[in-house]
Amino acid sequence: MIDQQLIAAEFPIAREWTYLSSAANGIIPERGRRYLERYFAEHHYLELADHYRMFEDLSAIRKRLARLYGGRERNWALQPNTCYGLNTIAAAIPWRAGDNVVLADCEFPANVYPWRNLARRGVGINLVRTHEMRATAELLINRCDDNTRALSVSGVQFHDGYAPDLKAMADLCRRRGIWLIVDGIQALGNRNWDLTEIGADFVAAGAQKWLLGPRGAGVLYLSDRALAALDAGELEPAYLGWLNWKSWRFDELLDFERELTTDGRILEVGTYPFHDLLAFDRSLTLFEEIGLSVIEKHSDNLRRQLLAGLTENGLADRFVHCNSGESEAHQSQIVALRCDNPMELNERLLAHKISASAREGALRVSFHLYNRAEDVDHLLEVLKRTT
C-alpha cells in the first residue's frame, strides 16, 4: 500500500485536482521541484561546491535505473527525450538499401519519424495495418520478412493503453537477428518491468510523463547484445562528444587520443542538462522508496475500480472501454473511453478540476501513484451528470 502522507507531501496539487493525465505529463514531486528552485537560485554556488561530483551523480542515476529496471550501469544512457533516443538508435544501425523497419499504424509520431527519416538511405517502413488500433505481437511478428532489420513498438500504446507481448517479439527478433526497439515513455515509471527479462534491445523514454521528471531528461536502455554490437562495430554511434571518454579529467582536455567508453555512455553527446537529470533522480528515489510493483498494483486497482464503476452506474454503453475484452496482460495504467465529443467532454471535466486527455476519439484517463479511489469516484460522479 502506498503511504498517502508521503504522497500528499510530495504531490499537493494531486489533492487539489483529480489529476488523471499522467500519460500527457506527470507531476514533478516536491523533492525535485525544490532541487530545481535551489539550483536556479544558487547555481553558481552549487557549481563551485559540486562541480567535480556531477559526473558521479550521473553515474548514480544510471545505477538507480539498473536497480529499478534491470541491467547494469553500463546498460543505461541519459538522453533528453524519447525521440532523441529513437533517432540515436536509428542512426547507429548500419542500414543497407532495401532494409525495412516494422511499425504499427497506431504508433505515436515520436516512434515514426526517426524511421521515416531513413528513406533517403533506401530504408522502408513496413507499416502494419491494425484492427481497432491494436498493435498485437502476432501482427507485428508476421509482418517481419527477410529484409527487416528492426521492429519498433510502444510498450504501452499512448491512445488506449494496450500493452503488447514484448517478450514474444523479443524472442522472435533474437532468433532472426532483428533489433527490437521499444518506445517506453508510457510505461517506465508505472509498470514493473525487468528489461533483461523482456529481452528488448533498446528502450527509450522521456522522463516527463510517468517517470515524473522535468522535460529535457530521458533514458535509453541498451541490452548486452546491443552493447556487444557497439563494441564490435556492428552498431556505430552517429555522433561523438567531448565526454565520451572511458574516463574524464579536466587537466587532460587536449589528449584527443584517449580511449572511448564501451558502455551505454557512448550514445550520450555533449554537455548534460545536469539540473534536469538531478531533479529527475529525485523522482527515481521516490520510485525506489515505494517500489514499482506497489505502484503497478495501485494503478491496476484504480483501473479496475473505474471499469467496474462504469458498469455499476450504467455508463458502460456511453463510455466504451477501448481495451474491453483484452486480458490483464494487455491492460495498463491507461484507460481509453470511446464516447461522443471527447474534446468537449474533456473541457467539461476541467471545470470540475478533473484533468484527463482527449486522444483519437476517446477520453484518455491515466492512473499513477498519486491517484486515489476518491479520484475515480469523483470522475464517475461527473460522468453521471454529463449528458
Residue 44's pLDDT band (boundaries 50, 70, 90)?
Answer: low
Contact 32, 366 (CB under 8 A): no
pLDDT digits (tens, 9 = 90+) for 18-32: 999 999 999 999 999
Question: How high is the pLDDT of residue 65?
Answer: 98
Q: Which three cell numbers stand for residue 347?
A: 473541457
Please report where in the chains the cell 522522463 appears, as a residue: 207
Q: Which CATH number applies to 33-288? A: 3.40.640.10
Please report where in the chains the cell 515509471 appears, as a residue: 189
First to last CA, the chain: 36
Beta-carbon contacts of residue 38 (< 8 Å; ≥ 6 apart): 46
Q: Which three cell numbers stand for residue 113?
A: 519519424
Strand partners of residue 298: none
Residue 248's pLDDT band (boundaries 50, 70, 90)?
Answer: confident
pTM over 0.85: yes
Query: How far lies 78's CA from each of 81, 193, 221, in Å?
Result: 9, 18, 9
User: Cα-flanking dihedrals φ and ψ of residue 365, to 5°?
Assistant: -115, 135
Pick the CATH number of 4-28+291-385 from 3.40.640.10, 1.10.10.10, 3.40.190.10, 3.90.1150.10: 3.90.1150.10
What are the domain boundaries of the chain?
4-28+291-385, 33-288
- The CA distance from 31 to 280, in Å, is 10
pLDDT digits (tens, 9 = 90+) for 302-353: 999 999 999 999 999 999 999 998 999 999 999 999 999 999 999 999 999 9
- The CA distance from 375 to 66, in Å, is 32
- The CA distance from 188 to 206, in Å, is 9
Question: How high is the pLDDT of residue 216?
Answer: 94
Q: Which of 231, 286, 275, 264 is nearest to 78 (CA)?
A: 264
